[in-house]
Amino acid sequence: MDFGLTDEQEALRESVRDFAREVIAPVIGDYYERHAFPYDIIRQMGKMGLFGLPFPEQHGGMGGDYFTLCLALEEIARVDSSVAITLEAAVSLGAMPIHRFGTDAQRERWLPDLVSGTALAAFGLTEPGFGSDAGGATTRAVLDGDEWVINGAKAFITNSGTDITSLVTVTAVTDVRPDGSKELSTIIVPAGTPGFTVAPGYSKVGWCASDTHELRFDDCRVPAENLLGERGRGFAQFLRILDEGRIAIAALAVGLAQGCVDESLRYARQRQAFGQPIGAYQAIQFKIADMEVRTHTSRLAYYDAAARMLAGAQFKRQAAVAKLHASECAVQNAREATQIHGGYGFMNEFPVARFWRDAKILEIGEGTSEVQRMIIARDLGLVDGR
């Protein structure tokens, strides 16, 4: 299997890497400490076409594929994860459901702004009382004439409350089947719809320059044609979106892990202790070598999952492997990078402090590490304890 990049992919990676280093890196620390959303950076990313990477040109996209998006995410996360998760959520969770499951009218209405980065979309899945158990959703949508009436709440929803958020796709219970199971459907709720309330932003440990809110729906009415995809297929739809999204999160985690290697190498060459750079000591050398091994292995895992996805092969297990390994790699590398930096690693002015704060959520968001292990075990044939 050849994991070499094409000339076009390599050019994209270099372009995004330069943008991350020259545009994002010098200013993101200030946004982060102010818990401010970096609208100017997002605007520039839109002009670069990053939000349209995996979408067809007919909707204003770049005509690329999901792997090119992952390459961009890795390079951005190498510098900052708040910006990277904004792009990841906007594309794989926000615009991708419209692209995958929307009608022609829905695509024509929403995709041009989403793929240009002039608007963002969010994916309303998680609820305050139901995280990993997404099938336990209690948000309900009842068809009343030619309108859906939605009641419920969603939690931890990325890109849901920015000034440029245009819509949230919401999973809701739309009926109860004869066997007692819930019929889940997905419905588009435009920003500003009466009855749709965006709560104040969370006070977060990390991803402090990204946008995250709890959402409430109180007799929120939207047209019946805002149903996204088939009624009752919401569960299958969001499983497909999450499988793809785990590859993207793995790429983001690899970027953070690689950023830890970059910063540790830089510091190890500059920091003097006992008359020589600390990089001359085997204890530091071995730490950084192990960090590089973990990062390289995680990169190969997400490359493999992406290749399978693009080839039309089964990739659920490989996506879970990639997400699990890369997220745990990011946490380990962030911890070691902080240790290598010593006291400076605990100072927010140093990137590794931000990496350390950002890493942990990667083991939680878009499926916890425990959920990934469950997916892998089930795909290996271990079901119901057998």
Q: Residues with catalytic annotation?
A: 366
User: Which one, of 126, 123, 119, 133, lies nearest residue 101 by Cα?
Assistant: 123
Element (H, E) at 237: helix 234-270
Our separate counts of H helices and E strands in the chain read 12, 10
Contacts of residue 129, defined as CB under 8 A and 6 or more positions apart, other chains included, come to 136, 138
Separation between Cα atoms, residue 114 and residue 121, nearest integer Å: 7
| Residue that is written with structure tokens 């520039």 in the block | 44
Contact 352, 75 (CB under 8 A): no
Q: Which amino acid is at 202?
A: Y
Strands 120-124 and 165-176: parallel
152: left (phi over 0), alpha (psi -120 to 50) or beta: left
